[in-house]
A and B are shown apart, each in its own frame.
Chain A
Amino acid sequence: MKLITLAIATAALALAGCSQQATGAKPDQKSAETANNNYVANGDSWKSGDKASWDKALKQRAEGQNDYVRSKSL
């Protein structure tokens, strides 16, 4: 009897392992949520969690890669 119970329990465990689904990646924080460190740039121009102000700050920073705009401001 004990042997049968043990066999059923082992089989149940094995089947549970086989039916395990891929859970995928953990949920991530939004990029607009400020990093928990001392390296945040232009912290006054955007608020943590405010996607619109973060987007704007990053767009402005991306514009800094435009030499033609930068040379005009010199």
Chain B
Amino acid sequence: MAQMKFICDTERCIECNGCVTACKAEHDVPWGVNRRRVVTINDGEVGAEKSISVACMHCADAPCMAVCPVQCFYKTDEGVVLHDKDVCIGCGYCSYACPFGAPQFPQSSTFGMRGKMDKCTFCAGGPEENGSQAEYEKYGRNRLSEGKLPACAEMCSTKALLGGDGDVISDIFRNRVTMRQANGKEAGANLFGWGTAYGGKPAA
């Protein structure tokens, strides 16, 4: 069974923000909310400047789901973490729990309240009829039920951002890393993955 995931290849990301724009346009995301954003580190350092596109990572053991007091989150058969805006109370616990800063709040409600939480849906909509107007207005387009993949990944000009079945996209990424190593560039463990997380190479 397909388990949907995103991978961002830091060697390819050129900080064009095409993914951010594609997401905003596809889902008509309100002003002030960014479901996806590009983070850049080591600005201006030649060879060390790296960018990565970040959104909800649809965690296997999602901390947002664990802390939600009204249980508005649910997970689809494909591993996509979604939420029900009719149940969300806008408490913001999920935004404190999420290590990626994925949950966003429109901040447009009266009395300075946060409003209902909004986040990346992996272009899978929410608990309304697939492709309906109600779903679009609350969660944006449901591209998965249209037989498509997330707009951000499909629009990525350098294919730095890969989205889809975890097995397929990790194969694509592995192939790239192997090619880089074959071409004499040290890669693999030092790219997004083991090296980034643990600061070294995985044991052989």
Spell out A's residues near B (CB within 8 Å): 22-37, 39-43, 45-46, 51, 54-55, 57-59, 61-63, 65-68
Contact = CB atoms under 8 A, between A and B. Distances in A.
20 contacts: A22-B69, A23-B87, A24-B84, A25-B73, A25-B82, A26-B86, A30-B77, A31-B78, A31-B80, A33-B130, A35-B131, A39-B131, A55-B2, A58-B2, A58-B165, A61-B164, A65-B154, A65-B162, A68-B175, A68-B176
Chain B interface category by residue count: 35 or more
Contact of A41 (B1, B83, B147, B163): B147
A49 B168 CA distance: 22
B127 to A, nearest CB: 4
Contacts of A63: 168, 172
B49 interface: no
B169 interface: yes
Given A22-B70, A35-B142, A41-B147, A58 B76 contact: no
Contacts of B22: none
Interface in B146-204: 146-149, 153-154, 159, 162-165, 168-169, 171-172, 175-176, 179
Contacts of A28: 74, 76, 82, 126-127
Contacts of B154: 65
B40 interface: no
Contacts of B69: 22
Given A35-B142, A40-B146, 7 more contacts: A22-B69, A24-B70, A34-B147, A35-B131, A37-B131, A62-B165, A68-B179
A63 to B, nearest CB: 6
A68 B80 CA distance: 28
Nearest to B73: A25
B170 to A, nearest CB: 11
Contact of B1 (A34, A55, A68): A55
A56 B100 CA distance: 30
Contact of A61 (B84, B132, B147, B179): B147
Interface in B28-49: none
